Structure 1
Amino acid sequence: MDWFKTIQENVDWLSSIGSDPTGGMTRLLYTDSWLEAQNAVKTKLEEIGMTTRFDEIGNLFGRLEGSTYPDETIMSGSHIDTVVNGGNLDGQFGIIAAYLAMGYLKETYGQPLRSLEVISMAEEEGSRFPTVFWGSKNFMNEAKKEDVIDIADFNGIKFVDAMRQCGFDFKAGEQKRREDIKAFVELHIEQGNVLENEGLQIGVVNSIAGQKRYTVILKGQANHAGTTPMGYRKDAVYAFSRICCEGIEKAKKVGDPLVLTFGKVEPKPNTVNVVPGEVLFTIDCRHTDGNLLHGFTGELEERIQEIADEMGMEVSIDLWMDEAPVPMDESIVKVIEEAAKKENMKYRIMHSGAGHDSQIIAPHYPTAMIFVPSIGGISHNPAEATKLEDLVEGVKTMAAALYELAYK
């Protein structure tokens, strides 16, 4: 197989569905381009001899039956949706890698001993509706109808109406989680710059970082910029700046893999000649150790309250996301590492700072991930790219891992 030609053709082909006229890709859940892409992938899976099916909500499956242990399934895949005006590798390349690797194995070695299965998950990004991991949460029977029954997109189109327009619907009643899946392997672009900076081809992911996200509102007192002496001010921007600087300096002292981001800042009244009386800001903190993450953010919350009290301000702290770290399965990590060694890849063991479908699947089935480098660490952007040779090495590593899992 000419891996370079085959991979480039498949990326170009699938990227043409949902290509954004302003550049990049926009393929949102339950849109025409989303449905076209899922049906196109379905046809591609059938072309390599897979039996295909959709589940009730639109997850797509393609299956090669095992000859000896058909009730033991080795699965790979990712999500088909994109962010608005995103890149052409996030999500969909994991699907491409899965079916190309499985097609190659079938062509080279024949029918696997264990069943091989591709999953093209309906949604992960949360870009159209205020819900995330709709595909993998349904796959794990963790999705809740009540969480989406009343939500709508930015055009006012209801989630339920969009889903049914595409021919899908909610699952009927409680369903038992599948017992046949023995391993899940997801290939993904890194979406960071560690591999590129270290000159490596493959990341073997052994954990996905936990996340805590906050919205904080500091309320001081808006006042005249010229007539209010510095000692009498309740300047909310100054209070925020103290919190931000102290927090980031402390995070640097803790060191990797802790990351802390103050990503959104909205001062009020936000004008040149008024002391700002209120600031809304967000906090995003991540670490692979749940206890350390909890301890660090707990101390940060205490310091925010202390600074507010010192400056005579009110503060509200809303912790609206609290996701625990998710370890990957040690045995599957070892299989991928050995596959990388066998293919003479330059690799490292690493964690993922971003969330992925694998974090939903890992608590239930043995799971691990393969990363390939992102040029400049850029993702969720039309400039998202990976060198073709790195994409090739990623698929080769995937094929080698799947061979160990399904053919031995």
Structure 2
Amino acid sequence: MSGRPAIRPDRLQDRLARFAAIGATPKGGVDRQALTQGDRQARALLVDLAGSRGFSVRQDAAANLFLRRPGEDADLPPLLLGSHLDTQPTGGRFDGALGVLAAFEVLEALEDAGVSAPRSVEIAVWTNEEGSRFAPGAMGSQAFASGLLPAEWLDARASDGARLGDELAATIGSLPAPVTSLGFPIAAYLELHIEQGPVLERENTPIGVVTGIQGTLWLAVELEGRAAHAGTTPLDFRQDPMRAAATAMAELYRTVMPTDPDARFTIGRIEVQPGSINSVPESVRFTIDLRHPDAAVLAGLERQVRAACKNASADSACRLSIHRLLDMPPIVFPETMVRLVEESAQRAKLATRRIVSGAFHDAVHLARCAPTAMIFCPCRDGISHNEAEHVEPHFAAAGTTALLEATLSVLARVR
């Protein structure tokens, strides 16, 4: 390798602003959900930027997008850097996009310095990490790791009625990049992401070295009762699924998180039919997001949820069904990769602290494919999945510098 590369923080901030303008919301956030027109526009902009630097571009059947800076030996598996460009409906400017654009800044820094790397370095833009428009989340990285795009995914419907298979085809067809098969060997995987929590900012620590990702389980609960008149139906004649849902929710809110500080329990979506103000509902559907760093405890939490819902449905004479939408076991990153990131950041004189990720990321699936590491940078007040999400420029630059240094370390050590 020749000259010592360095990032350009001004260029990174300019790119962040350009991408934030795609799907910009009135409150300063971004609505660029997976496989929408906004998502396609962001991908097209990145492809244009890659072409201007001479990086090659391709995509796969899951609409994952790959940008490559070639190395000396094209036969060696590449080092992969990645994240996502899709957002929540009222998302922020940095969740996912910072990781993609920091990775692009790393490629540009290597190119600016004329670095001759022993192997190629690639950027992956993973499809549908957020899972807000189509479930499951981290869909693209999961398909890459397994080499499979399940048929049932293709028929999944968004809230706007769009079919996943059609949206994938439209997104792939919107770019001139060739389409290759799912999955390929990689030497290692690195991902930069905002913390989405308050720890790093509170400690004024620029670099979080992620040791692992807690497990995540998404459940869809449906309670079916009998629609009835709100004014004329006595309690004894009601089969009220809302009563059952409220009872189960109250029990779980009372017990799950208050008894275990490592547990996370969230009800993020509720649908009531027929949704009339003066009718006892016929059905109630809601989602549950369970998280824990211990797989055995997470399994116990699922049993607790099922028992609470079963008891509540029996008391209200309602039918109950529960099925899994997402099951991501906890992952622990290799200690060698954790130390590599620590040493790389320290070489750049950046303070670090080890941290467990409370949110799932594409890295959870890439860890099945190759040695994997994640870098966190602080976000203001720990706010994320919110239009107020913000990362200070100096923290964005620090995270990108750590990613560059880790890239150089991998290129030097992973052969």
Of 324-333 and 398-407, more deviation after overlay is shown by 324-333
- Which one-letter code corresponds to 2:138 in the other structure? F
Does the Cα contact within 8 Å between 2:334 and 2:371 map onto a contact in 1? Answer: yes
Tell me whether 1:178 sits opposite 2:194 in the alignment. no
Q: Could you tell me how far 1:86 is from its partner in structure 2?
A: 2.1
- Is the 8 Å Cα contact of residues 193 and 374 (structure 1) preserved in structure 2? yes
Asked whether 1:39 is paired with 2:44, we answer yes
Distance in 2 separating the partners of 1:154 and 1:307: 28
Q: Equivalents in 2 of 1:137, 1:273: separation in Å?
A: 44
Find the partner of 2:320 among 316, 319, 329: 316
CA deviation after TM superposition for structure 1 residue 405, in Å: 0.4
Query: Where does residue 364 of structure 2 map in the other structure?
Result: 359
Q: Following the alignment from structure 1 to structure 2, what is the Cα–Cα distance between the partners of residues 156 and 242?
A: 31
Query: Could you tell me which amino acid in structure 1 is paired with residue 322 of structure 2?
Result: D
User: Structure 1 200/216 Cα, relative in aligned 2: closer, same or farther at 3 Å?
Assistant: farther
Change (3 A) 1:134 1:224: closer
Aligned with 1:257 (options 254, 262, 282): 262
2:226–2:280 contact (8 Å) kept in structure 1: no
1:92 is matched with which residue? 97
Q: Which secondary structure state, in structure 2, belongs to the residue aligned with residue 186 of structure 1?
A: strand
Instruction: Give the deviation of 1:260 after TM superposition.
Output: 1.7
> 1:289 corresponds to which letter in structure 2?
D
Q: Is the 8 A contact 1:243 1:303 kept in 2?
A: yes
Q: Percent identity among equivalent residues?
A: 29
Q: CA deviation at 1:118?
A: 1.3
Q: Is the 8 A contact 1:114 1:407 kept in 2?
A: no
CA contact (8 A) 1:205 1:370 kept: yes
Relative to 1, partners in 2 of residues 1:174 and 1:316: Cα closer, same or farther, differing over 3 Å?
farther
For residues 177 and 2 of structure 1, what CA distance do their matches in structure 2 show? 29
CA shift for structure 1 position 393: 1.0
Once the two structures are overlaid, the 10-residue window that deviates more, 359-368 or 239-248, is 239-248
Moved more, 278-287 or 390-399: 278-287
Which of 206, 223, 243 matches 1:217? 223
Contact 2:62 2:149 in 1 (8 A): no
Residues 256 and 264 in structure 2, CA contact (< 8 A), matched pair in contact too:
yes
1:193-232 aligned within 5 A: 193-214=198-219, 215=221, 217=223
Structure 1 position 262, deviation (Å): 3.6
Per-residue deviation, 1:80: 2.2
What TM-score does the superposition give when structure 1 sets the normalisation length? 0.82
Structure 1 position 59 matched with structure 2 position 64: yes
What code does the residue aligned with 1:316 have? L
Counterpart contact for 1:79–1:135, Cα < 8 Å: no
* Counterparts of 1:8 and 1:106, CA distance in 2: 19
Q: 1:285 to 1:121 in 2, by over 3 A?
A: closer
When the two chains are superposed, the root-mean-square deviation of aligned CA atoms in Å is 3.8
Report the counterpart of residue 77 of structure 1 in structure 2.
Answer: 82
Give the direction of change, closer, same or farther, for the CA distance of 1:130–1:213 in structure 2 (3 Å limit).
closer
Separation in structure 1 between the aligned mates of residue 412 and residue 154 of structure 2, nearest angstrom: 43
Q: Say which of 106, 123, 142 aligns to 1:118.
A: 123
State the Cα distance separating 1:395 from its structure 2 match: 0.4
- Structure 1 letter corresponding to 2:184: R
Which shifted more, 160-169 or 117-126?
160-169
Three-state SS of the structure 1 residue aligned to 2:120 is strand
Measured against aligned partners, the alpha-carbon deviations of 1:104-142 in whole angstroms (never above 9, x if no partner) come to: 244347212232111222432334445543432343354
1:399 CA displacement = 0.9
Retained in 2: the 8 A contact 1:190–1:372?
Answer: yes
For 1:173 and 1:45, how far apart are their aligned partners in 2?
17
Amino acid at match of 1:386: V
Q: Distance in 2 between matches of 1:166 and 1:302?
A: 42
Question: Could you say if the C-alpha distance between residues 167 and 337 of structure 1 is closer, same or farther in structure 2, counting changes exceeding 3 Å?
Answer: closer
Q: Secondary structure at the match of 1:350?
A: strand
**One-letter code aligned to 1:91:** G
Q: One-letter code of the match for 1:370?
A: I
Distance 1:272 1:151, change over 3 A: closer
Letter in 2 for 1:320: R
Residue type matched to 1:318 in 2?
A: I
Matched residue, 1:13: 18
Q: Distance in 2 between matches of 1:210 and 1:87?
A: 24
Instruction: Kindly tell me the number of residue pairs found equivalent between the two proteins.
Output: 403
Q: 1:220 to 1:35 in 2, by over 3 A?
A: closer
Work out whether residues 147 and 182 of structure 2, in 8 Å CA contact, stay in contact via their aligned partners in 1. no
Q: Which position in structure 2 is the counterpart of 1:407?
A: 412
The Cα offsets for residues 23-43 of structure 1, whole Å up to 9 and x where unpaired, read as 432334444433332232123
Q: Distance in 2 between matches of 1:244 and 1:156?
A: 29
Residue 394 (1) aligns with residue 399 (2):
yes
> Where does the alignment leave 5 or more consecutive residues of structure 1 unmatched?
none
Report Cα offsets for 1:30-63 as digits up to 9, x if no partner.
Answer: 4443333223212323444433333355332222
Pick from 371, 375, 380: which aligns with 1:370?
A: 375
SS at structure 1 position matched to 2:89: coil
Q: Which amino acid aligns with 2:126?
A: M
Deviation at 1:146, TM superposition (A): 1.9
The residue type paired with residue 319 of structure 1 is H
